[in-house]
Structure 1
Amino acid sequence: PLSTAAVYLIVGFWVARFAGRWVERKMARRSVGWNGTALLARLVSISIQVASVLLALIAVGASATGLLTVFGAFTVAIGLSLQDVFKNFFAGIYLLFEQPFRVGDRIAIRDVVGEVQGIDIRTTLVKNLDGELVMIPNALVFTEILQNNAHYGVRRLDLKVTTSSRGATEIDRLVRSELENIDEVRRPIPVARIVSSKPPELTLVISLMLDDTDDAEMKLLELVVIILADETVDVMSS
């Protein structure tokens, strides 16, 4: 019995180690963040280790029914006391497999808009537009309406221009002629539309689609600052 138990333990822990590494390789191919990969690999490894310990105890004479009863009661007690933690944990597992977003995608959940940094044990990490790291519970990400602005590889940028010195035609011509030189801006470039006219002020909005990268957005904004230096420009990104 002791030799059988030893075999169960040795083989079980070896298989657990191998399975953990296998999961890490598989998840790496899915472009999952390191935190999420390590989380899932650890879960698989621990599950196999626990199973091997139970088999070893049964091999040395422990009652299988008794062990399963104790283990079940222990699991229920832990589950009730840590139900919120487990809810976020399993929501994170679902997100890893379903992949509604990837690391680097810009998402919006409730009033949080930012770039995904990774999926942790309990939370999804998002860097918001102010450069702050926001930790959103995985269960909230799982149940709330989620907007993935990077799914199609583009993002929308609305330029709201308020002017009192130029006409709508001049603003439109100036902006469009300069945007033709930016490859990251998707074609066709839309015509500026007037949203408010209260003399002497005129307000126009130019809605652009560009590559979903911060570099593309920064390049565009730098150009706008130069060509519309005398106007008031508000930028809305989504």
Structure 2
Amino acid sequence: MNDDNLASQLSTFVDMFNAGTIFLLFFCIFVLWLINWLIRHMMGRVMTRFPSRRFAVMQLTTLLSFVLYIIGAIVLVVGVLRPPQEFLIAIGGSAAVAVGFALKDVAASLISGLILLFDRPFQVGDRVTFDNVYGEIMAITLRTVRLRTLDDNIVTIPNSRFITDVVASGNLGAMDMMVVTDFHLALDADIQQAQDIARQVIVTSRFAYLKKPVTFAIEEVQVAERLAIRLRAKAYVLDVDYEKAFQSDVTVRTSALFRERGVLRPAG
């Protein structure tokens, strides 16, 4: 009887994965991929046309991809494979244990992806720091988060790591973001003059977002085993894409004005 059951189950399995079903399965997977590619392509054109709304568009694209793949997977199993109830009952328990054990990390990442989507500790387009990696969130997929560093490297991180580890978001969905720029001065430098110069440079930068305040923090620090004054300028860039351009602009012009106006720097 057991042999008959085994033969019946094998026959059912073979019938499920006949040539026609396999072709249809791969065709449907290709269609899912194509639909997802078309959605991302169209959303990319929308972002190009409306750059100020690109964060919202990127987040909508991520949500649509989630929904597409989840619904698509259900349709493939129910509509294409159509496994009989007896077959599911016969192998469901052992298969669930085996697949669950093999895919526990994937399952954890999938669940974590849903948590990230609704809890939103960060969003697509945010500038974040995670495990000494800093960059922009490019995509939140079912299993991973893709982050592009400022050196244009793509870092792929499992979703589950963001649930347990600390992540810092610099803008949390906003277009503007605070950018911190440090300048080091000699102990006997005119700090007020240096601060005025830095403020002048910041407010005249084409990348500055002036609806938010420009602030400074001043403290003594050790530079090359010598005490110095650190002048830390805190200002907002109008678009996170201009972060490094803004910081470079402020650094270059401020340093030039320090030399021109005789602001003392730490001895080399």
* TM-score (norm: length of structure 1): 0.68
Q: Is the 8 A contact 2:189 2:265 kept in 1?
A: no
- Sequence identity of aligned pairs in percent? 20
Query: Is residue 127 of structure 1 aligned with residue 165 of structure 2?
Result: no
Distance 1:180 1:39, change over 3 A: closer
Q: Is the 8 A contact 2:148 2:155 kept in 1?
A: yes
Paired residue type of 2:248: L
**How big is the shift at 1:53?**
5.6
Answer whether contact 2:125 2:173 (CA < 8 A) is retained: no
Matched position secondary structure for 1:173:
helix
1:61 aligned residue: none
Residue 235 of structure 2 aligns with which residue? 209
Distance in structure 1 (CA, Å) of the matches to 2:63 and 2:173: 23
| 197 and 171 in structure 1: CA distance in 2 versus 1, 3 angstrom threshold | farther
Match of 1:43 among 63, 70, 73: 70
Task: Provide the residue aligned with 1:70 in structure 2.
Answer: 91
Structure 1 position 218 matched with structure 2 position 245: yes
SS in structure 1 opposite 2:124?
A: coil
Please give the alpha-carbon distance, in whole angstroms, between the structure 1 residues aligned to 2:156 and 2:222: 42
Q: Does 2:211 correspond to 1:190?
A: no
**8 Å CA contact retained: 2:110, 2:143:** yes
> Partner of 2:181 in structure 1?
159
- Cross-structure match for 1:5: none
- Number of equivalent positions: 209
Q: 1:117 to 1:188 in 2, by over 3 A?
A: closer
Matched-pair contact (CA < 8 Å) for 1:168–1:194: no
CA deviations on 1:131-181 (whole Å, 9 max, x unpaired) are 322111111012222222111634333332223484212211211222232
More helix by share: 2
2:102 aligned with 1:107: no
* In structure 1, distance between residues paired with 2:243 and 2:150: 15
Q: CA deviation at 1:194?
A: 3.6
With over 3 angstroms needed to count, the CA separation of the structure-2 counterparts of 1:218 and 1:52, relative to structure 1, is same
* Gapped regions of structure 1 (runs ≥ 5): 1-8, 59-63, 234-238
